[in-house]
Chain A
Amino acid sequence: MDTGLKPVIAGYIPLLDSAVLVAAARMGFAEREGVSLKLVRETSWANIRDRIAVGHFDVAHMLAPMPIAASLNLTSLAVPMIAPMLLGLGGNAITVSADLWGDMAHAGADPAGDPASTGKALAQVIAMRRGGRQRLLRFGVVHPFSGHAYELRYWLAAAGIDPDKDVEISVLAPPVMADALAEHQIDGYCVGEPWNTAAVAAGTGRIATYKQAIWPDSPEKVLGVTRKWADSNPETLSALLRALSAAADWCSERENAEVLAGVLCEPEFLGCPVEICLPALTGQMQFDQSTSRQIPDFLTFAGGAKASPTPAHGRWFFEQMVRWSQAGETSASVREAESVFSSDLYRAALGLAASVPDPVFHLFDEA
C-alpha cells in the first residue's frame, strides 16, 4: 500500500528522552510532514552505532557525543555522522547509595543537590575512606562517550576528585543501574530518567545532584544521522526535522505530560510503571523518599531554536574527550566536532535565522 509517505526508520533506546521520536511517530507529527516514522527499540548504544552504520536505521536517538566519536573514528564501525537536532536537554541525575548519601550528608552535603556542596562532601568521604584504607568507590555510567560520563567526571573533578584515580568508573546498561546499586556492586551512577527515580522509589538510592544543576540547558540526546544518508535524503531529513521540532514542542507542554507518560510507559516503548516516568516529565523530582523538589527544567524538550545544535556544543563535548584522554587534540578534530553540531540543516528545515550567536555556557563551578 503506497501512502505517499516517505519511510524513515529510527533506532532508539527506551529512555524518557526518546519522547520526541515516540511522540512524532505516535501523535501524528511525522505524517503531517509526509514522513512514515518507524521506531525500532534497541538494547545497547553499541547496537545503535552498528545498525546505523550498516544502514538498518536511517536515523537514531543517540548520546550527544556519539556522532562526534563516530566521525573522529574513535569507535568501531565508525562512519561520518552529523547531529542535526537536539532531542532533549538535561534529564540526567547522579544517584548514590543510601549508605554513601548517609556519609555525604554527615559531611554537609546539600539535600537540594547543589553540585558544589555535594561534590565537596563526596571529596571528604573519599578522603576519610582513604585514611581508613577502604576500597575505592565505584560509579556507573551508561557509555564512555556520553553526557553522563562527562557530567560525572566534571562534577568529581570540580571537587578535586580524580575520576581516574580516586574512584572507579564502569559502564552499565541504564535499566540495571538501580539493581547494581541495591546489590552494592556500585556506590553511585549517572543515568537518565527514569532510572534515578527507580532507585529512589526502591529506597536504595538518593539523588545527589543532577545534570541541569551541573550544566544548565545542556544537550543530552541528539538525532544521529550518517552523512551519507543526510546527503542522499535531504528533503526527507528536512521534513523529519520539522516533524520532530513540532513533536518536541508538544512534549514540552506541561498539560501533555500525563498523556506522554502514558504512551512512553507502554510495553512497546519503556514498559515501566507510569509513576516512575512522571517526576522528570513534570519536574516534580523526588530526591529520596522524604525530599522532593520542583525543578521545572529538570528535563526539557523544545522545538524551534532551542533544539538547534551549535558548533559550541560539539566543541564542548570534544574538549571533554580530550580532557579524559579519549581523543587527541588537533585543529582538524576540533573543526570536525564543530561541524557535526552544525546548525545549518536544522535552521534551513525550520526556516530559522541563518546564524545565531553561540549559546552562553554556564557550568556550576564557573563564576
Chain B
Amino acid sequence: MAGAVNGAAQHFGCMKISPAHNNGMSDGLSILVIDDNRIRASIIEQGLRDAGHDQVILVHQMDRLVRQIADINPDVIVIDLENPNRDQLEHMFQVSRAVRRPIAMFVDRSDSHSIEAAVDAGVSAYIVDGLKRERVKPILDMAISRFRAFSKLAEELEEVRTELADRKTIDRAKGILMKSKGLSEQEAYDLLRRTAMNQSRKIIEVAQSLVIASGLLGGEA
C-alpha cells in the first residue's frame, strides 16, 4: 500500500497539531474527523483510538481547512452531514494538487447498505483513492455507530428537558388552581386530570392552556 506508507511518513508533519503516540498497534492510517460538534467529535475520536487507530486528528474550524488538509494529508476523512462546507471540500478534492485525491467512500455503490446507514446516521467519509475498502470499512462502521449513539443521547437529553419543563408547567397550573379556587395540591392535580380526561387532552396541554390564560387575564402565571 504505497498510499498508506506515504500517509504514515507524511503524518509526522502534523505532529504539532495533534501529538500521536505510535505504540505499534496502529494500522498506519491517519484519520481526519471534521465535526464542529466537539462532543460528538470526541466520542468518535475515542472510538477510533479504542479500535487501535492512534493517528486521529479532529478539526472543528473550517478556516484554512484546505491548507490543514494538505498538511495533515489524511488517508480517511470523516465529516458530519450538517457541515455546510461539504461542497467546498468535494471540489477541493477534485482540483487540488496539494492533496492526494480523496474520493467519496461509496463511489462504486457496491455496498448500498453502508451508504444508507451512513446517510441515515448523518455522516459521510472520503478515502484516498486506491486505498483498499476493507481497511476502511471498520472505520466507517465505527463512525456510523458513534453518530447513532450520539443522536440517541441527544434525543434522550431532549426528552428529559421536555419532561422537566412539563413538570414545571403542571406545578404552576396547580399553584394557580390552589390559589384561585382554594384547593389543596392533590385536589388541584385531580381537577387538571379530570379536565384532561373529559376533553381527551393531555394533562400538560390543559396545564399550558391554564398558565397562558391566567397570564393573559393578569393572574399569577
Contact = CB atoms under 8 A, between A and B. Distances in A.
B88 A144 contact: no
20 contacts: A43-B81, A44-B83, A47-B86, A50-B81, A50-B119, A50-B124, A51-B119, A53-B115, A54-B112, A77-B104, A77-B106, A77-B107, A77-B109, A142-B87, A143-B91, A171-B87, A171-B91, A173-B84, A173-B85, A173-B88
A46 B107 contact: no
Nearest to B64: A185
Contacts of B94: 144
Contact of B88 (A53, A55, A77, A170): A170
B127 to A, nearest CB: 12
Contacts of B83: 43-44
Given A51-B119, A175-B84, 19 more contacts: A43-B81, A43-B82, A43-B84, A44-B83, A44-B85, A44-B87, A46-B90, A46-B124, A50-B119, A77-B104, A77-B106, A77-B109, A170-B88, A171-B90, A171-B91, A171-B92, A172-B85, A172-B88, A176-B85
Interface residues on A, range: 20 to 34
Contact of A143 (B87, B103, B115): B87
Contacts of A256: none
A77 B124 CA distance: 12
Nearest to A55: B116
Contacts of B120: 54, 56
Q: Identify the 8 closest CB pairs spanning chains A and B, nearest first.
A: A76-B104, A171-B91, A46-B86, A44-B86, A43-B84, A173-B84, A171-B88, A54-B116
Interface residues of B, number: 23
A53 B107 CA distance: 12
Contacts of A150: none
A45 interface: yes
A56 B88 contact: no
Nearest to A78: B109
A108 to B, nearest CB: 33
Interface of A: 43-47, 50-51, 53-56, 76-77, 142-144, 170-173, 175-176
A76 B106 contact: yes
A44 B84 CA distance: 5
Contacts of B115: 53-54, 77
Contacts, number: 63
A143 B94 CA distance: 12
Interface string B110-135: 00100110011000100000000000
A318 B196 CA distance: 62
Which of A43, A44, A173 counts the most chain B CB atoms within 10 A? A44
Contacts of B124: 46, 50
A140 B90 CA distance: 14
Contact of B87 (A45, A51, A76, A175): A45
A170 to B, nearest CB: 7
B123 to A, nearest CB: 11
Contacts of A142: 87
Contacts of A176: 84-85
Interface in B105-164: 106-107, 109, 112, 115-116, 119-120, 124
B84 A56 contact: no
A337 B83 CA distance: 30
B114 to A, nearest CB: 11
A50 to B, nearest CB: 5
A85 B85 CA distance: 27
Contacts of B90: 46, 76, 171
